[in-house]
Structure formats: structure tokens, C-alpha cells
Structure 1
Amino acid sequence: MKKIVLKGFLLLTFTALLAACSTNETTIESGQSQESSQAVKTEVEITDSNGPLTVPYQPKKVVVFDFSTLDTLRVLGVSDTVVATPVDSLPDYLDTFDALESAGGIKEPDLEKINQLQPDLIIISGRQQDFQADLEKIAPTMFLNVDTTNTWESIQHNVTTIGEIFGKEKEAQEELANLATMIDETKEKAEASNLKALTLLINEGSLSAYGAGSRFSILHDTFGFAQADENIEASTHGQSVSYEYVLKNNPDLIFVIDRTKAIGGDTSQNSLVENELVQQTTAGENDQVVSLDPQVWYLAGSGIESLKLMIEDVNQAFK
């Protein structure tokens, strides 16, 4: 009887050991399977300004033409993946990229050089769209534009997309949350001020006005400034206007972006604040002609760092 009990006990013990080993092996295999699944992720499905697109996940070699993306990559800690950019046109605040290979001009990529670099991904802005088909023959090419009719949501989408591609989703969301707080604070002050603003781009003496739905619509639809003229034609290049137009609309606040300083040229006729007609406006009389950083606003304008700089710029109006 004792032998039978002992045999039964040994059989149960052996069975339990087998089950434990089997469970352990299953767990290990499951863990290995999960690790393998994570390790083989090589692509990510995103939506850029042209539609659905498959791009490499965590690319190692990236050519970047869009300076807003370049600044976002630096903030997210992956600037070491950038192998080339249009270095001759870099805004000063992105001068840490000066030592990179030149990807060509801001409007004319060096296709031969880019092909030699064999990038995993190319990121363009609207300035390079004419070359997109040629660039796509070299590597997947992503275009992240900003929808000027829905600026802030569009920027959030672009930053989130970059975070997804480079495995920096958490960091991207944290930065966007910080920006949202800064924007809310600025918008509250802008709306409380009741200042009617006019945004002007000056280029070698010529003026263009921008309102809602246009290139610099972020001043109105995101930062909350009322428009001095509600009927400005929405256009990428702005509505051509005169100094008489500025006086007629008599803004409380004038934001000025000097395109000539951003890209070079004759700045001798660009002193808008000294113009006699401008001085007669409420903005001129109250010293409310605010110069915005032209390199940030004209060459970038939707990256994480550039947005912080832009918020600092517009807050000059409240000092």
C-alpha cells in the first residue's frame, strides 16, 4: 500500500514539474515572440499632406528640406539621423546643422548628392514639391504641409506624425501639451486686449497683407488676435497693399515680417516703422509696430521650437 502511495506521489510530482517546465517554455517563447515582433517593425503607416504613405520606422539617414521638421527632430532628440539639409538657407536658430552635407538649394534639391547619400527618408516642404517625383525615386518622400484654415490642429498632426515615425510619441505629446498651454495663455491676453492687428510682409519696400486662412493665419486663428481688416484675400503670397491702405485700416497693432532679411536683398526701403503714413496709425502712435523674427516666421514656423519663438515674438505686443 505504501509503495502505491509513493508511486502516486512521485507521478504527481513529475507531472507538476513537466507542467511547470512547459509553462516556463511557453512564457519564454511568448516573450521571445513579442521581442521578435517588436524587433521586426521596419515600417509605419502615416498620413502626410498628400495622403496615406508607408515610410521606414526609426530611419537612420534622413534628408530634411522642411526646417520646421528639422527643428522638431532636434527637440525630440533625433537630430543625429539627419544627413543633409539646405545648409545655405538655414535659419540662425538651427545653426547646429551647419556642418551637415548640403542637400542643395531650398527650391532646387541636389538630386545627385541626395542619391549618393542613399537616405532612408526624405522630408520636404511646399518649396520642393516640383521635385517630389524625382526625390521619390531615391527614397520615400514625405510632405508635411500646414493647413492654414486649421493651423493648430494641422501642426499637432505633423508633430505627432514625426513622433510616430521616430518612436518619440511620448515626447511629442509632452511638447504639444506645453505648447497648448503657452498658446492658451497668449490667446487669452490677445482676446482681452481687443487689439485689432494687421500682419504685413515687407519685401524690398513692397507690402503684402495676410489675414485668416493665409500663410500667417496662426496670428488670428491660434493666437487670437482680431483682424484690422476682415476682407483680406487669403493667399500664400498675401494681398498686395499700399501704405495708404495701412493708414485707412488704422490697425491698433502691426506685425511685420521682413522677407528681405530672411532670404537676402535690398533692405534700404524696408523701414516700415519710419514711414509717415504708418506713424499716423494707432499702432504707429502707440509704438505697437512689432517686428517678428523673419527667419523663424518665413522659413520655418510650425516646428516645436519655432512655435515657442513665435509665441515669444507676439507677446511683445503686451509689454
Structure 2
Amino acid sequence: MINLRKILAIGTLITFSQLSTAETQLPKAAIFDLGSLDTITALGLESQVVGVPKQVLPDYLKQFNDARYTDVGGLKTPDLETIKTLNPDLIVITGRQAGQKAALEDIATVKQVNASGENYWESFSKNTTSVAALFNAESAADTALAELNADIESTKAGIKDHPRILFVTHNNGSFGLRDEPIATQLLGLDPSKVPSHVTPQKRGTRTFTSLSVSDIAQMKPTTLFIVDRSAAIGNTEEALDIKKLKADLVDKGGQSIQVAYLSPKLWYLSGNGLQSLRLQVKEIADAL
């Protein structure tokens, strides 16, 4: 099995994309980034996966619950000893595993992926091609990206009546404004205006904008999209009571607002993959 750390230690950085398959095997990978996992699957490379965080897999990746794939721990609690026994060439992570990055780098080469919302399609495309390059699959990735882009443009053209949208994250009864570039950048949807009395709050290095049900009703979106963090991480007792929310919106004058409850794990734990982005675009379009 190839040891990527030895390859990367050479003076000139050599990636798998620069080596022909005749010269090297494709890397065996432990994947914590679920978007990368669904991209690898879309490119027909799932046989290269040796480990995944099984406890958080969304329904569309349920095939990785199979015994041929090893459970490598939680998204924030990688099982280092189990990963060592797999002897992977590559470990793909996101910011959720950043605290364990050094420890993971002692096991294998680590690739950290992140998607920026500033130019989402550009960032998404770069992530996709960079992951594909590790498996000599750049050409397949380019084809898949072109097909996905065409599907998104077709979906965008089919949206009528200029709906106003509002995305929020729910957590144990509280709501926070969610910037969703898939809706605004890729589908060109107009976000509802935030009331002037609502201001962002700083929590450490992160910025949050809390919204009350009254605020949401005042914003009057055509459709309110909800990403339920509580449900996504398994806190079912704290998950959103949709019937109560709809009743509360009516009480606050928001009876015209459609409420769309999005697939929790898809939106909170996954995303930024060839499969997940397609599913997310469909969920938005289906709700409008």
C-alpha cells in the first residue's frame, strides 16, 4: 500500500493526479467529510473507501453502513486507534475534525476541504476536482460538474413568481438566520429582509443572528426553510415541533408562510458533494 507521507516528503510535491495508474494504486481512504464521500461515490470510487463515520450517515449514503466499511468514530471524535488499524493512505476531513488534524496526520496524509460561500460554485468546483484528482478522476469530475451545472440552471429557469425565501437553523427551540448560497447564488432566489431591530451576535470567532417567531413572521418569506440541527445530531427530544411552529406563525400574522422542513442530516452534516448538492437543489425547488 502506498504511503502518501513518504511521497509528500519529496522535495517536489507529487499528487496522485500526477502519477499514472500504471505506476501506482489508487489510495485507500478514510472519509469524514460526507460531501467528499458522496462525490467519491458519484465518481464510482467507493471501493477506495475503507472507513466512514457511520453514526452520522444521512439516508442517501446508507450503503456505507455495510460491513465492508469500518466505522471510524464521530465527526468530532475520530476513533484514532481504529483508523490506525485500517492503515489508510488518505484521510479526508473538514473543520469539524480540525482539532484532531495533527493526530490524524500521524496516521496518514490528511486533506481538509472547505467550501466558501463567497463564490459558492467556484469553491464547490475546486473542492470537487481536488478530491477527484487524488483518485485520478479529474475528467470524470469535470463531466459530472458540467452535468450538475446544467441541471441547476434548468431548475433555476423553472422557478416562477419570484419567491422570497428565508433559511433558518433550528436548535432546541431557537432559530438562527442561515446564509444559504445554494438558494441565493445558484438558484437566484431573493432572501427576505431582516428587520432593523435584529442584529448579529458574536460568539467566539463565529457570528450568529437569532430570530424569534415574531421576527420570522415580520419578514414574511414566501417559504421558510428549516435545517433542524437538533434532529440532525440525534437530539430527537429537542427536534422541532412543526405543528407548533406553524400555529405560532399564524398567531404572529405569518399565516401565508409556507414551511419547508429540510432533510436534517443532508443539510447540517453533509453537503458540498456532487450528490448532496443535487439533492439540496431539488429539495428547495420542490418546496417552492
User: Which of 267, 272, 279 does residue 302 from structure 1 map onto?
Assistant: 272
Q: How many residues align?
A: 264
More RCO (CA 8 Å, sep 6+)? 2
Residues 90-127 of structure 1 deviation map (CA, whole Å, 9 limit, x = unaligned): 11211111121111111011112112211111100110
Q: Which has the larger radius of gyration?
A: 1
Residue by residue over 1:9-38, the C-alpha shift from the partner in whole angstroms, topping out at 9 and shown as x without a partner, is xxxxxxxxxxxxxxxxxxxxxxxxxxxxxx
> How much has 1:182 moved relative to structure 2?
1.6
Letter in 1 for 2:174: S
Residues 247/293 of structure 1: CA separation in 2 closer, same or farther (3 Å cut): same
Q: What one-letter code is carried by the residue in structure 1 that aligns with 2:116?
A: D
Q: Distance in 2 between matches of 1:77 and 1:60?
A: 14
Selected match of 2:176 from 173, 186, 208: 208
2:226 corresponding residue in structure 1: 256
1:221 matched to 2:221: no
Letter in 2 for 1:279: V
Greater helix share, 1 or 2? 1
Structure 1 residues not aligned, in runs of 5+: 1-41, 45-51
Alpha-carbon separation, structure 2, partners of 1:269 and 1:306: 22
Over 3 Å counting, the alpha-carbon distance change for 1:259 and 1:76 in structure 2 is: same
Whole-angstrom distance in 2 between the partners of 1:151 and 1:282: 34
**Corresponding position of 1:167:** 136
RMSD (Å), alpha carbons: 2.6
Give the CA deviation at 1:290.
1.4
- Give the gaps of 5 or more residues in structure 2: 1-5, 18-24
Counterpart CA distance in 2 for 1:268 and 1:198 is 22
Distance 2:77 2:238 in 1: 28
Q: Once the two structures are superposed, what CA deviation does each residue of 1:166-221 show, in whole Å capped at 9, x if it has no partner?
A: 1112211111111111211233344x42211110111221111113xxxx332212
User: Which deviates further from its counterpart, 224-233 or 161-170?
Assistant: 224-233
Instruction: Determine if contact 1:103/1:110 at 8 Å carries over to the other structure.
Output: yes
> Which of residues 103, 116, 131 is equivalent to 1:147?
116
Distance change in 2, residues 1:172/1:284 (3 Å) = farther
Deviates more, 1:120-129 or 1:178-187: 178-187
Q: Name the amino acid aligned to 1:60.
A: P
Equivalents in 2 of 1:53, 1:290: separation in Å?
Answer: 47
Measure the CA separation in 2 of the matches of 1:283 and 1:78: 47
After the TM superposition, which residues 261-300 of structure 1 pair with which residues of structure 2 at under 5 Å, given as runs? 261-267=231-237, 270-272=240-242, 274-275=244-245, 276-279=247-250, 284-285=255-256, 288-300=258-270
Calculate percent identity across the aligned residue pairs: 33
Q: What are the superposed Cα offsets for residues 123-165 of structure 1, whole Å, 9 maximum, x if unpaired?
A: 0011001111111111110011001211111111111112222
1: CA distance between counterparts of 2:101 and 2:188? 35
User: 1:70-219 residue pairs with structure 2 within 5 A?
Assistant: 70-98=37-65, 99=67, 100-190=69-159, 192-211=160-179, 216-219=180-183
Q: Structure 1 residues 217, 284: closer, same or farther in 2, change over 3 A? A: farther
Structure 2 residue matching 1:63: 3-state secondary structure: strand
TM-score (norm 2): 0.83
Distance 1:289 1:83, change over 3 A: same
